[in-house]
Structure 1
Amino acid sequence: MTKPFDMTLFLSGVLTGSKATQQRHLRQAQIMQAAIQQRWERDNPWTWQLKHVRWFLTQHLEDHSKHSLYYYGLTVRLICLRLGKTIIWRPHL
């Protein structure tokens, strides 16, 4: 049996800011991870593609406010930073 992917450990090197901000990013990353796992069966960010993140931001969060989308976008930027990938952040990804 394999261990579940630890998002806290994954993001620990790139998290900055207040404790509340760090907790928000971790919570949002875990929500993203769960949604992408359920829909695409991809259990960690190392296996995600742009289409998975785009689906999450556009389809999964379609009933959320623009503010929520913005904050999830910041979390996506942290995940990309941790992966060493560059992504041009546009709110309408």
Structure 2
Amino acid sequence: MEIYLSADGPGGEKVGDVLCYTSRWMLGLPRGDGVITTAMSFSGGISWQCSMFDVMKAGRWDAVVEALVSNESSRTNEVVLLFERPMAGVEKE
């Protein structure tokens, strides 16, 4: 799935830029291989975790929207969006 910008943005975004990744918050078990994370996994220590969602591999529009709206103010004070800009004169494969 490709999502293109339709208007220039204040951060240098240009019309035609493609959204590749966005931050996404999900409930999950602690990550890592330490003693504390292992103990928390067995005790059910579920918490909010942030990861990058691959928009280009999203199978449906709803999945992209879910990832975007998971960045709510009770979990974070920023949203990470990673755009790609097609190079002029280079054809897409």
Asked if TM exceeds 0.5, the reply is no
Q: Give the helix-richer structure, 1 or 2.
A: 1
Q: Give the strand-richer structure, 1 or 2.
A: 2
Alignment TM-score, normalising by the size of structure 1: 0.31
Point out which structure has higher relative CO (alpha carbons under 8 A, 6+ apart): 2
Structure with bigger gyration radius: 2
